[in-house]
Amino acid sequence: EPGGLLGPVAIRDLAQRLDVRPTKTLGQNFLHDANTIRRIVRTADLTPDDVVLEVGPGLGSLTLGLLGASAHVTAVEIDPRLADQLPHTVADRAPELADRLTVVTADALRVTELPGPPPTALVANLPYNVAVPVLLHLLELLPSLRTALVLVQAEVADRLAAGPGTPAYGVPSVKAAWYADVRRAGNVPRPVFWPVPNVDSGLVALTRRPHPPGDRAATFAVVDAAFATRRKGLRAALARWAGSPAAAEQRLRAAGIDPTTRGEQLSVEQFARLAATEPAGG
Ligand code: SAM
């Protein structure tokens, strides 16, 4: 492949040499299509000053593309065999870019700090079973992240980008919208992965909001409560959160929200306003 990108043959060779059998539990589906890599890198819209955080570099397909389009890539990989190999792969395929790479062997859900310069952009083909928690954890941990482009299960991509009142709207949509403007950025066909996954995949692009709407913890608490009992109106769904149905109704009215509305109808701004109302008796 031109540009040192990994194609299908190189991916299988590398996996065989490392004796890596991709595991489902770690969501190991590796990209082996240079056109897809180029498309993801283009969509990420990086500048030469960007410091990229990549979660789950795997065999390095996307990493190689990202190194060429940014100042630095910090790659967090949970699988030590893959993490240990990555610098060698880069040294083999793109030696001139090797000093731009920092590899961290860690669970992205548990990292609390990263070595190297603060990342400005998250770009990742995320492990699908933990995609939403990883994304939210990193947006919270790293205020330096201005943008994110993540490849996730198509259904999850739809959920992340959904707006109020649409069928896919739920907790991930509201929480992602607290941090960022979120949009779908296309789909990625199954055959570009090895092994071929049994779900469709899609890209989601996030741009951090300079002014998030209100207190995060308080907003997330009311969001979790509102969606815990999906079919109830908010007066009932928020009874425990507020202390009683009457207290819930009072706070909903104080926020200008009809108490018979359901959580699926509210924007993140409305949830934040609701979270900011005075608790009953307070
Ligand atoms: N970026 C590579 C690509 O596109 O070919 C691999 C993507 S694969 C979908 C997900 C990668 O995330 C795997 O390499 C897997 O080992 C790694 N991974 C899984 N869970 C992780 C976690 N909690 N923290 C960091 N990496 C993880």
| Per-residue pLDDT reduced to its tens digit, 158-195 | 999 999 999 999 999 999 999 999 999 999 999 999 99
Judge whether 278 is annotated as a binding position: no
**Nearest CA owner, ligand 1 atom 3:** 30
**Residue 205 parent element (H or E):** strand 201-208
Question: How far is residue 140's CA from residue 269's CA, in Å, rounded to a whole number?
Answer: 18
| Residue 235 predicted with pLDDT over 90 | yes
Of 226, 230, 225, 222, which is closest to residue 276 (Cα–Cα)? Answer: 222
**Residue 42 parent element (H or E):** helix 34-44
Query: What pLDDT is recorded for position 273?
Result: 98
| Residue 231 predicted with pLDDT over 80 | no
Question: How far is residue 180's CA from residue 154's CA, in Å, rounded to a whole number?
Answer: 19
77-90 mean pLDDT: 97
Question: How far is residue 181's CA from residue 138's CA, in Å, rounded to a whole number?
Answer: 16
Is the distance from the beta carbon of residue 65 to the nearest atom of ligand 1 less than 6 Å?
Answer: no
Q: Which of left, alpha, beta for 225 (phi over 0: left; psi -120 to 50: alpha)?
A: alpha
**Nearest CA owner, ligand 1 atom 11:** 56
**Nearest CA owner, ligand 1 atom 6:** 58
Q: Read off the pLDDT band of 282 (50, 70, 90).
A: low
Atom index in ligand 1 nearest the CA of residue 193 equals 5
**Given 3-state DSSP classes, what are the helix, strand and coil percentages for the chain, each rounded to the nearest 5?**
45, 15, 35
CB atoms within 10 A of CB 104: 19
Atom index in ligand 1 nearest the CA of residue 63 equals 1
Judge whether 264 is annotated as a binding position: no
**Nearest CA owner, ligand 1 atom 17:** 56
Which of 79, 89, 203 has the most ligand 1 atoms within 8 A of CB, as the residue to mutate? 79
Is the distance from the beta carbon of residue 27 to the nearest atom of ligand 1 less than 6 Å?
Answer: yes
| Residue 281 predicted with pLDDT over 70 | no
Neighbour-count burial for 180-193, b at 16+ CB within 10 Å, e otherwise: bebeebeebeeebb
Is the distance from the beta carbon of residue 202 to the nearest atom of ligand 1 less than 6 Å?
Answer: no
Is the distance from the beta carbon of residue 55 to the nearest atom of ligand 1 less than 6 Å?
Answer: yes
Cis peptide before 195 (omega within 30 of 0): yes
* Range with lowest mean pLDDT among 8-22, 48-62, 132-146: 8-22
Query: What pLDDT is recorded for position 92?
Result: 95
Is the distance from the beta carbon of residue 263 to the nearest atom of ligand 1 less than 6 Å?
Answer: no
197-203 mean pLDDT: 97
What 3-state DSSP class applies to 125? Answer: strand
User: Which pTM was predicted?
Assistant: 0.96
Is the distance from the beta carbon of residue 20 to the nearest atom of ligand 1 less than 6 Å?
Answer: no
